[in-house]
Amino acid sequence: MRYGYFDTEKREYVITRPDVPVSWTNYLGVEDFCTVISQNAGGYSFYRSPQYHRVTRFRPNGVPLDRPGHYVYIRDDETGEFWSVSWQPTGGNAESYQVRHGLSYSVFSCNRNGINAEQLCMVPLGDACELWAVTLSNVSDSPRRLSVFGYCEFSFHQIEMDNQNFQMSLYASGADCQDGIIQHDLYYEETGFQCFTSSFAPDGYDCSRDAFLGSYRTETNPLAVETGHCSGSGGTTGNHCGALMKTVTLEPGGDVNLFFMLSEGSRAEAVRLREKYRSPGAVQKAGEALAAWWDKRLASLRVSLPHAEMENMLNVWTLYQAEVNVLFSRFASFIEVGGRTGLGYRDTAQDAMCIANAEPDGCRKRLIQLLHGQVSSGYGLHLFRPEWFMREEKAQSFKSPTVVPTPDRSEMIHGIKDVCSDDHLWLVAAVCEYVREIGDTKFFDAIVPYADGGEGSIYEHLTRALDFTEEHTGAHGIPLGLRADWNDCLNLGGGESGMVTFLYLWALKHFIAAARFLGRTNDVEKYQARLDKAATAADEALWDGEWFRRGFTASGRPIGGAEAAEGKVHLESNTWAVVSGAVSREKGIKCMDAVDAYLYTPYGLMLNAPSFTVPDDEVGFVTRVYPGVKENGAVFSHPNPWAWAAECMLGRGARAIRLYDALCPALQNDIIETRKAEPYSYCQFIMGKDHKLHGQANHPWMTGTAGWAYYAATRYILGIRPEFDRLTVDPCIPPEWKTFSAVRVWRGTEYRITVENPDGAEYGVAGLYVNGQKAEFIPLSQEPVEVRIVMGRDIH
Ligand code: GLC
């Protein structure tokens, strides 16, 4: 069953039936003001922090999932009938509604009672406000008298204040309307203002939520809309809203454009913004600027493939999702509702690394933040707020009555018991990939403080990360698992992690390549010796005959392996064994065959199988998770692209695409009855075979899958990889792909790449031509470069 389709030309997903099984969301805003919005215009806004500066309210985990929202109501003043421009909150015949989710904007439209209505929501660049551009057209044959209402519910800023302890918060805010601007004021904050205004002088308003909705009513049937009259409510204390109303008369064929605006800051700022955006063409110009912002990012790599869904995902949706993760980390969605903010170390490093081409500045910003969150002994703080280390927080000039203890700096630095064994290793590769992208090797020399004092060059930060892992190995000579590795639920403590073993080898390879390029030969030798030693230890300790084990518990029991009754085969250790490049091709093929045999499902690869059913705290929390769910035997999406990369390293392009396709959201557009979640976003996990909802996708948007899907598909399947001094193109594709092309912008130059595959090879470059000349490699260039690759069977 399908609910919509991709409009590739417009870079939109068009929802033709908004009664989708769960909320299908989009993200508005690419700077300080953000709104997470559903296909029903439900959701919430925040300014900079969803935890500390909420603008509009959200009732998390509610029924329905997405209330309240940013709603526009229309009332027919002749008949008293009313409806909303988005399908909810009033409901009605879903088929008369349409939603277009685009890059940082959403458009809701409906055709009801002879009126066509549209509401475009977006956050313009440079201003902290959300614009709702509304158009109503009378497509009936009689004149119509309509009342239009814009409505949103304000939030107390702090999520705790907004969700608990109302004995203070309910009495500490106010809202009033002057000059057509509703200003919401959090009285206990020095800069606690938001405004709601419109392009017109309103015929009525409400600032009190309860007055607008009326007792025992909801957003579905607000009293003010039902009666056609706002009551001019407002004042101090209580819960507040922005509700502005205008009455219009439309002749047959007539239309009207209005806008509502929700903005951060005081009334004076709202006056400025209202002037700016109500001038003719201003909203359209803002839309064009936003589109250009996205054009620039999307232009960093444009692909043209014999695989329409993959082309669309890579050119638009996967990059978009990955960007949103870099912008807002994991902490604003309908699942993560803003109660946790800050940066997860490993997530941020991977997100940033994966889109260095499209977002070099964002990548750099995140890397610098991570470097500040690294302690001098080398590990990263698992979850931290960059402002702890990067600037003194401005002290509030007064004490608020709710005592929330502020930790001292030393308390923010957790000790070894909370160290995750993988966090700092991602940083090593991420920094190297960033430098490969931008070419500025001086980045390695920049001095950055450590979180716990002292400072060092970025190069030194990386050595300390590697040294930390070297110094924390266990009985088999491979890295300890510590609090967890990439798998939050594998809590090995003093046990050893097979995955981190291979991740360490991968990080070492990145670092050695950088050291070699920088001419630091002593370090090349030193770390190469460690790599050789670690690779031997890995092979000896982890190979089980057919595949690689996941690790060892603190008491030395192997995790995964032929003998294991549960959790026999794990995705992480086997994919990383291959991606690390440290194991033989023969073992690589065997272990990926085992992955295929044990973990493949039509919805992607499961993380482990069979699922654990018996709690075993030496293995970790994973054994206490329901079988087939999350880290215990679900299709955990994030590691799936590792398998695509691994298959490409083995030269098995057909297999890589088979795995790509299994996880591909766009290819599940027509099975929404199973998938449920939006088909334009990867989800954190999909229920595994051991769960009766097998195939149901959960937790859209905020997952490292997006970055890795982009990275693995572009760098391994398409094989387009920047090195320190050259560009490599080494595809691994299915034999039936006869050709594909791509335009990659690298260090400011366009590389126009055409790949031909006359013999149906899966990998191997038989001929490389640069600007028509046969070449050994693709060099750096200031001028646009034409690259032609001819693939050949069995050549590597
Ligand atoms: C979640 C976390 C991520 C972790 C993964 C597996 O996606 O955000 O850090 O690696 O789960 O446990």
440 CB less than 6 Å from ligand 1?
Answer: no
Least Cα distance to 344 among 404, 428, 426 occurs for 426
Q: Taking 60 as the threshold, does the pLDDT of residue 315 lie above it?
A: yes
Using the 8-state DSSP alphabet, how is residue 2 labeled? -
Spatial contact of 745 and 778, defined as CB atoms under 8 Å apart:
no
Mean pLDDT of the residues in the chain: 96
488 CB less than 6 Å from ligand 1?
Answer: yes
382 CB less than 6 Å from ligand 1?
Answer: no
Spatial contact of 343 and 386, defined as CB atoms under 8 Å apart:
yes
Distant-in-sequence, close-in-space partners of 768: CB < 8 Å, separation ≥ 6: 729, 774, 775, 776, 777, 778, 787, 788, 789, 790
Q: Taking 80 as the threshold, does the pLDDT of residue 438 lie above it?
A: yes
Which pair of structure tokens corresponds to residue 622?
A: 């994973």
Q: How far apart are the CA of 19 and the centre of ligand 1, in A?
A: 30
Percent of the chain with pLDDT over 90: 92
Classify 737 as helix, strand or coil: coil
Q: Taking 90 as the threshold, does the pLDDT of residue 387 lie above it?
A: no
Ranking 66-75, 383-392, 433-442 by mean pLDDT, the lowest is 383-392
Counting every residue, how long is the chain?
A: 796
Nearest residue by C-alpha to atom 7 in ligand 1: 703
Spatial contact of 497 and 583, defined as CB atoms under 8 Å apart:
no
Side-chain half-sphere exposure of 54, counting CA atoms within 13 A: 28
Segment 563-592, tens digit of pLDDT: 999 999 999 999 999 999 999 999 999 999
Spatial contact of 156 and 173, defined as CB atoms under 8 Å apart:
yes
pLDDT of residue 390: 86
486 CB less than 6 Å from ligand 1?
Answer: yes
Q: What whole-number distance in Å separates Cα of residue 509 and Cα of residue 523?
A: 12
487 CB less than 6 Å from ligand 1?
Answer: yes
Active-site annotation, residues:
488
Over range 62-85, report the average pLDDT: 97
Atom of ligand 1 nearest to the CA of 486: 10
Atom of ligand 1 nearest to the CA of 484: 12
pLDDT of residue 404: 61
309 CB less than 6 Å from ligand 1?
Answer: no
Atom of ligand 1 nearest to the CA of 347: 9
Residue 4, strand partner residues: 15
Least Cα distance to 708 among 645, 633, 619 occurs for 645
Q: What whole-number distance in Å separates Cα of residue 680 and Cα of residue 664?
A: 9
Strand bridging mode 683-686 / 115-122: unpaired
pLDDT band at 189 (very low <50, low <70, confident <90, very high): confident
Q: How far apart are the CA of 47 and the centre of ligand 1, in A?
A: 25
Atom of ligand 1 nearest to the CA of 684: 7
705 CB less than 6 Å from ligand 1?
Answer: no
344 CB less than 6 Å from ligand 1?
Answer: yes
Nearest residue by C-alpha to atom 9 in ligand 1: 347
Q: Which residue from 340, 486, 497 has its CB within 8 A of the most atoms of ligand 1, so it is best to mutate?
A: 486
Atom of ligand 1 nearest to the CA of 489: 12
Segment 449-505, tens digit of pLDDT: 999 999 999 999 999 999 999 999 999 999 999 999 999 999 999 999 999 999 999
Least Cα distance to 758 among 790, 794, 796, 788 occurs for 790
Phi and psi angles of residue 84, each rounded to the nearest 5 degrees, phi first: -110, 155
Spatial contact of 657 and 667, defined as CB atoms under 8 Å apart:
no
Q: How far apart are the CA of 641 and the centre of ligand 1, in A?
A: 15
Give the angle 132-138-141 at the CA atoms, nearest 5°.
Answer: 175
Over range 388-414, report the average pLDDT: 73
Q: How far apart are the CA of 27 and the centre of ligand 1, in A?
A: 21
Q: How far apart are the CA of 242 and the centre of ligand 1, in A?
A: 38
Q: What whole-number distance in Å separates Cα of residue 158 and Cα of residue 108?
A: 29
Q: How far apart are the CA of 607 and the centre of ligand 1, in A?
A: 12
pLDDT of residue 395: 64
Side-chain half-sphere exposure of 581, counting CA atoms within 13 A: 8
Nearest residue by C-alpha to atom 3 in ligand 1: 347
Using the 8-state DSSP alphabet, how is residue 478 labeled? S
335 CB less than 6 Å from ligand 1?
Answer: no
Spatial contact of 686 and 695, defined as CB atoms under 8 Å apart:
yes
Beta strands in 89-170 (DSSP E): 97-102, 105-112, 115-122, 129-138, 144-153
Using the 8-state DSSP alphabet, how is residue 345 labeled? H
Which amino acid is located at 680 in the chain? Answer: Y
Segment 322-364, tens digit of pLDDT: 999 999 998 899 999 988 889 999 999 999 999 999 999 999 9
Q: What whole-number distance in Å separates Cα of residue 67 and Cα of residue 643?
A: 38
Side-chain half-sphere exposure of 634, counting CA atoms within 13 A: 24
Q: How far apart are the CA of 471 and the centre of ligand 1, in A?
A: 25
347 CB less than 6 Å from ligand 1?
Answer: yes
Q: Which residue from 347, 625, 636 has its CB within 8 A of the most atoms of ligand 1, so it is best to mutate?
A: 347
Strands, sheet with 726-729, edge to edge from the N-terminal-most edge strand:
720-722, 726-729, 778-779
Q: Taking 60 as the threshold, does the pLDDT of residue 393 lie above it?
A: no
pLDDT band at 169 (very low <50, low <70, confident <90, very high): confident
Helix axes 360-372, 423-438, angle to 10 degrees: 140
Q: What whole-number distance in Å separates Cα of residue 367 and Cα of residue 463?
A: 15
684 CB less than 6 Å from ligand 1?
Answer: yes
Ranking 80-94, 160-174, 738-752 by mean pLDDT, the lowest is 160-174
Spatial contact of 731 and 287, defined as CB atoms under 8 Å apart:
no
Q: How far apart are the CA of 477 and the centre of ligand 1, in A?
A: 26
Q: How far apart are the CA of 724 and the centre of ligand 1, in A?
A: 30
346 CB less than 6 Å from ligand 1?
Answer: yes
Q: How far apart are the CA of 346 and the centre of ligand 1, in A?
A: 8
Decide: pTM greater than 0.85. Answer: yes
Spatial contact of 779 and 787, defined as CB atoms under 8 Å apart:
no
Segment 650-701, tens digit of pLDDT: 999 999 999 999 999 999 999 999 999 999 999 999 999 999 999 999 999 9
First and final CA of the chain: distance in angstroms?
43
Least Cα distance to 224 among 334, 368, 60, 75 occurs for 75
Nearest residue by C-alpha to atom 8 in ligand 1: 347
Percent of the chain with pLDDT over 70: 98
Q: What whole-number distance in Å separates Cα of residue 552 and Cα of residue 558?
A: 4
491 CB less than 6 Å from ligand 1?
Answer: no
Spatial contact of 23 and 334, defined as CB atoms under 8 Å apart:
yes
330 CB less than 6 Å from ligand 1?
Answer: yes
Q: How far apart are the CA of 537 and the centre of ligand 1, in A?
A: 27
Q: Which residue from 384, 488, 623, 685 has its CB within 8 A of the most atoms of ligand 1, so it is best to mutate?
A: 488
Atom of ligand 1 nearest to the CA of 703: 7
572 CB less than 6 Å from ligand 1?
Answer: no
Side-chain half-sphere exposure of 621, counting CA atoms within 13 A: 10
Q: What whole-number distance in Å separates Cα of residue 697 and Cα of residue 707?
A: 18
